[in-house]
Amino acid sequence: MGQLIGGQIGLDDFIFAHKKGRAKEVELIKTEPALGLTLTDNGAGFVFIKRIRDNSIMDKLGVVQIGDHLEKLNGASLVGKRHFEVARMLKEIECGSSMLLRLVEPASRTTGFGPIGLRAAGPRSRAKFAGYPTGWETLRFKADGFARIEQLNETDKAREQIEKINNALDVYMGISDYVLARRLWEIAQKKINSMDLAKAMDSALPDSYDFPKDFIFDVWKIAFETRKNP
């Protein structure tokens, strides 16, 4: 189970099984503030690359790929950290500084990191992969030892707003976490202003997230739009 990722499942994702493959080290100069990575984790201390932005530092390297596990940064282990902690560590490296990343590829990008189940919910995907989950279901493990797929109790409007918050997490923090985005959306309901929201987030979530002020305002604005246009 330590080789299974899927703890953070996005709307356009597959569920993947990651079997450790080749380790590689990448040394580079940070020439821009953002490396172009979106990170996710499996909730068990393993951080993975979810997206690589076109024409970013990492994209131009051509060595780092989606699905790679980030194991070390400048010799320090990243195992046991959450995606937002690793994203912050990468962001805090000053421009012009060199950095050394150790990554672990899946054993095979066709078999070792192959799709188990579809998460996409678009019309084309549904036609191509009929019978797979719709993307608005969640896998839950029951006390009897069996796993069952259950529907998420969310309206179309709520899903749209939660996805907007998840996109904001990517823009401001370089992470993708639909579960966190949903929690932020829930906290933001009925908050009078962004300051009220900031206080609620401080009390409900760990300080280690260190959300930027502009991000908090955007979350409040998204939630306000939901109330204004239910």
For 193-208, write each residue's pLDDT tens digit. 999 999 999 999 877 7
Task: Confirm if 49 and 57 have CB atoms less than 8 A apart.
Answer: no
| Per-residue pLDDT reduced to its tens digit, 149-180 | 455 556 778 888 999 999 999 999 999 998 89
Interatomic CA distance for residues 32 and 116, integer angstroms: 36
**140-166 burial, b if ≥16 CB within 10 A, otherwise e?**
eeeeeeeeeeeeeeeeeebbebbbbbb
Average pLDDT over residues 72-86: 94
pLDDT category of residue 6 using cuts at 50, 70 and 90: very low
Contact indicator for 38, 49 with CB cutoff of 8 Å: yes
Domain 14-106 falls in which CATH fold? Pdz3 Domain (2.30.42)
For 89-118, what is each residue's pLDDT tens digit? 999 999 999 999 999 987 765 444 444 333
CA distance 96 to 163: 34
What amino acid is encoded at 75 in this protein?
G
- Give the separation between CA 132 and CA 120, rounded to whole angstroms: 9
The average pLDDT across 129-153 equals 46
Cα separation, 118 vs 13, in Å, equals: 7
Instruction: State whether residue 189 is helix, strand or coil.
Output: coil
| H or E stretch covering 180 | helix 178-188
Residue 200: which of 210, 209, 189 has the closest Cα? Answer: 189
CB atoms within 10 A of CB 44: 12
Could you tell me where the beta strands, DSSP code E, fall in 30-65? 37-41, 47-52
Which of the pair, 87 or 5, is modelled with greater confidence? 87
Residue 80 pLDDT > 60, yes or no?
yes
Mean per-residue pLDDT, 29-35: 91
Can you give the pLDDT at residue 229? 61
pLDDT band at 21 (very low <50, low <70, confident <90, very high): confident
